Structure 1
Amino acid sequence: MSSEWQKRDEESASQIVNVLIIGFWGGILWSFIGIVACFFNFMKFSPKFILTSWSGAHWIEGWLGTVITLLIFSILSMAAALLYYALLKKFQNMMAGIIYGAVLWILLFFIIKPVFSGLPSMEQLKGNTGITSFCIFILYGVFIGSSISYEYQEKQKKNVPDIKTT
């Protein structure tokens, strides 16, 4: 009996590690896409707002600022991935990820906005900037949601005993 509980604990810990890895890479990938979108003027703000909100240091605009921004967003993304896992892992369709991404965008621009002075207000989010940032969040939500739900469903399939008919 003890070994069965130990096996379940190990599988659960393994699944949490997978969620953290998905969150880490999701944060790096989609914040990098945000930086590229800013570079090509699809957005008027960069994900570097997370640093520029508290410091005007010159190094933030260079490669070091980009690396630190990516790392900060990857850590925040791991927390977002854990939240998705806790609340929405059982949903198998993309709609859960789309809604999750939209909710994260709304949280950032309506609730958490006062914390980040480098983030534009809703009045400044016109045209390409608003649409691009919203779409990046939607795609981030789909990435996190699809990856986590897929991993969860695969784990469930492995735990279901095979029914053999004779």
Structure 2
Amino acid sequence: MRRMSKKQQLKDNEESVLKKSMYTGFIGGVLFSLLASAMYYFNFLEVTPKYYLLTSWVSAEWTDTWLGILFTTILAGAVSLLIACLYYLILKKIKYMWVGIIYGFILWVILFILFHPIFNDIPAVMEWSMNTWVTTICLFILYGTFIGYSISYDYMDSKQTEDIIEKS
């Protein structure tokens, strides 16, 4: 069996962290999209991910079926890949949970306030009930914490692995 050089091990370790970040982003998008859809079903929310990711662009009958939820969930995972990459590029070195919380809140502001003019058929934030306000903010804070803490943890763990590789 051939031993890898230290440079190759370090490169593989860095690529591994990026891959884990991508997996984290996709899984986070899928899980939180499904959670938001369930919250919409149980009337905790007045808006669903389907409104933002699907029905604003497609007006077909299948969007109101299980296929619409499935397509929205996969699309949310793909969008979340980009969000996780952005976190990885900018904030991965910060290990505090507050960064993920703030990141989630900033994502909420961007989606529901800044991007609202793009989604004409969705009620404005000021027209929402208090349940929708609280639930969406909490959901995005949890999402940001999940993405942020997972990526930062993997990055810090990889740095410890790099230190071990360099010392050996």
TM-score, with structure 2 as normaliser: 0.89
Corresponding residue for residue 22 of structure 2: 20
**CA displacement at 1:123 relative to structure 2:** 1.8
Corresponding residue for residue 67 of structure 2: 64
SS at match of 1:26: helix
1:103 and 2:106 are equivalent in the alignment: yes
2: distance between equivalents of 1:160 and 1:120? Answer: 51
> Is the CA contact 1:92–1:150 (under 8 Å) kept in the aligned structure 2?
yes
2: distance between equivalents of 1:61 and 1:135? Answer: 25
Corresponding residue for residue 153 of structure 1: 156
RMSD: 1.9
Query: AA paired with 2:77?
Result: S
TM-score, with structure 1 as normaliser: 0.90
Q: Structure 1 unaligned runs (5+)?
A: none
Stretches (4+) displaced over 6 A: none
Corresponding residue for residue 58 of structure 2: 55
1:90 and 2:93 are equivalent in the alignment: yes
Number of matched pairs: 162
1:33 corresponds, among 26, 32, 35, to 35
Q: Which has the higher helix share?
A: 2
2: distance between equivalents of 1:161 and 1:46? Answer: 46
Identity among equivalent pairs (%): 39
Q: Structure 2 unaligned runs (5+)?
A: none
Corresponding residue for residue 137 of structure 2: 134
Please say which of residues 99-108 and 119-128 is displaced more in the overlay.
119-128
> Is the CA contact 1:52–1:118 (under 8 Å) kept in the aligned structure 2?
no
